Amino acid sequence: MKYIEKFQYITHDIPHLSHIEQVQLACEAGAKWIQYRCLSKTDEELLQDINAIAEICDDWGTTLIVTNHVHLNGKADIQGFHIEDMNADFTVLRKLVGNDITLGGSANTLENLIRLASEGADYAGFGPYAVTETKPNDYPLLDLEGYQQVIRELKEKGIDLPVLAVGGVKIYNVEALMQTGVYGIAVSGAVNFADDFIEAYQDFYSLVKESAVN
């Protein structure tokens, strides 16, 4: 099984910090996993960002995942991709990128998760937990009971897929969410918009690790 970090940090288009600056700060804070999420640039601009970010990640021993943009596979030092399209065919994607590349997907229902697992995804971001302005969508929010029920049903079906809670997660949500049995948590805004980026990252990281039940 591939290495999947329990606390995943996602970059975002924000006015006060570039993606590269976000990654530098996250790595200085001890990040083990970066998801570069930029849907606003050309391929040339994306590769400029990704190459710079890959150097930073390499210096710190950090895994670099890119949101979508699978067509960039092999053009930069990318360890994996996170696919937000919940209808994407992961069987096709796996053939496209090969077995060494990490593939994660977004999910909002138990059925989504079962399909991701059956098609070879390595992990899933399951949400949204709460309202988030980082990634606007119309999917229904998932409360604690929803997470707990889904994790229980996956176990009953013998499906071993790392599921991370994502979408509007705040530091005060971490303990309760981890107690539902989710594998981990992914955040963006809660760190990006904190008064102290590094402190916020480290607080999240510590609490996720301390609260993990699996």
Q: Is the pLDDT of residue 135 over 70?
A: no
Across 91-110, average pLDDT: 97
Please give the structure tokens belonging to residue 28. Answer: 């200085």
pTM of the predicted structure, to 2 decimals? 0.95
Handedness of CA 95, 97, 103, 109 (dihedral sign): negative
Contact present, 97 and 103 (Cβ < 8 Å):
yes
pLDDT-derived band at 133 (thresholds 50, 70, 90) equals low
Distance CA 79, CA 212 (A): 25
Token pair 């570069």 in the structure block, residue: 36
Q: Is the pLDDT of residue 1 over 80?
A: no
Contacts of 55 (CB under 8 A, 6+ apart): none
Contact present, 203 and 172 (Cβ < 8 Å):
no
